[in-house]
A and B are shown apart, each in its own frame.
Chain A
């Protein structure tokens, strides 16, 4: 039972480079989310999706883009990486039929922009 899988686990980017953080879930969850975690700041929602083809902005969407072409996958795209995007990124999913059980999280991607 894989749950939520994120790749890569670690990445160093140079300023101005682009990359895609991958997220896949095998639980047939409709809802998926991207968070970033900065030290001492908790988690901030970047983007979320309530189903394939539907995405919406969270609290801190600037500098990021997402797509949701399938139920399983929810990649996060960073364009023109900046040092302020150095963070740990978590993908999560949940089901509308089991929302009382909260989210299932991936193990995270640690990104450093230099």
Chain B
């Protein structure tokens, strides 16, 4: 079945530092890939997505590139802010089989950015 593995947290950075959160996946076919963000006390919000190989999703200074050769979708940001402190989830939606509308989530990575 489909699975998502993302780096264990927590991750603590200083403001303006570079961020990478690794995400790798296992899936048949050509899944769509997503990053979701969960701010404290809130639900998950879609941060960015990529639907085919070599696509780059981007939003709010965050980027992730769909790498089929390495089955990865790493999240990056060049300069983090305190307001980026949140839990980040990598997820995939399979494109084969009858249940291809369901998302599979990673366990989440807690990011804390200190001023």
Known: A42-B106, A90-B43, A107-B43. A99 touches B89 (CB 8 A): no
Residue numbers of A with Cβ under 8 A of B are: 4, 31, 33, 40-43, 45, 48, 50, 90, 92, 94, 96, 99-103, 105-108
Complex Cα distance A43/B87, Å? 12
- Contacts A48-B102, A102-B32 known; list 10 others, CB within 8 Å: A40-B108, A42-B89, A42-B108, A90-B43, A90-B44, A100-B49, A101-B49, A102-B93, A105-B44, A108-B43
The 5 closest A-B pairs by CB, nearest first: A42-B107, A105-B43, A105-B44, A107-B43, A43-B105
Q: Range of interface residues on chain B? A: 20 to 34
B31-82 at interface with A (beta carbon < 8 Å): 32, 34, 36, 42-46, 49, 51
Q: Which residues of B contact A92 (CB under 8 A)?
A: 44
Residue numbers of B with Cβ under 8 A of A are: 32, 34, 36, 42-46, 49, 51, 89, 91, 93, 100-103, 105-108
Chain B's nearest CB lies how many Å from the CB of A109?
Answer: 10
Known: A42-B107, A105-B45. A96 touches B89 (CB 8 A): no
* A and B contact pairs by CB, cutoff 8 A, 21 listed: A31-B101, A43-B44, A43-B105, A45-B102, A48-B102, A50-B101, A90-B44, A94-B101, A96-B101, A99-B93, A99-B100, A99-B101, A100-B32, A101-B46, A101-B49, A102-B36, A102-B46, A102-B91, A103-B46, A105-B45, A108-B43
